[in-house]
């Protein structure tokens, strides 16, 4: 039972454009959501989070949007940079972090 789903395994975006990564969840008990970024041969790195009582959180080029009624969240990166190329995991938590399967973002020149 996959409670967090990232339906796009990969995404390619041109440098300077907006990257939008999507995530859907099924567990209505999740009260906190997080995005992690992972480079090859490294551990996931925390990027940005959002509480379930908010619908938007912004940190520099990164913005996370939460639509609770749709059980959907998204990560916007603008402008996208080549160094953003990585695998992005979304996660929800009630008592433990539950991760999606990841989306590989490729930012091209």
User: Which spans of this chain sit near another protein (rule: CB under 8 A)?
Assistant: 31-32, 34, 36, 41-46, 49, 87, 89, 93-99, 101-102
Residue 27 has phi, psi (to 5 degrees) of -85, 110
Q: How far is the CB of 109 from another protein (least distance, A)?
A: 26
Q: How far is the CB of 103 from another protein (least distance, A)?
A: 11
Nearer to another protein, 13 or 90 (CB): 90
The two most distant CA atoms of the chain are separated, in Å, by 41
């Amino acid at each position: 039972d996959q409670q967090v789903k990232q339906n796009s395994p990969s995404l390619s975006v041109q440098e300077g454009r907006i990257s939008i990564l999507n995530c859907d969840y099924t567990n209505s008990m999740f009260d906190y959501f997080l995005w992690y970024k992972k480079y090859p041969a490294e551990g996931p790195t925390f990027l940005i989070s959002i509480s379930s009582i908010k619908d938007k959180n912004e940190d520099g080029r990164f913005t996370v949007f939460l639509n609770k009624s749709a059980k959907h969240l998204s990560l916007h990166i603008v402008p996208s940079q080549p160094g953003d190329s990585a695998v992005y995991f979304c996660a929800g938590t009630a008592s433990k972090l539950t991760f999606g399967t990841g989306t590989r973002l490729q930012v091209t020149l």
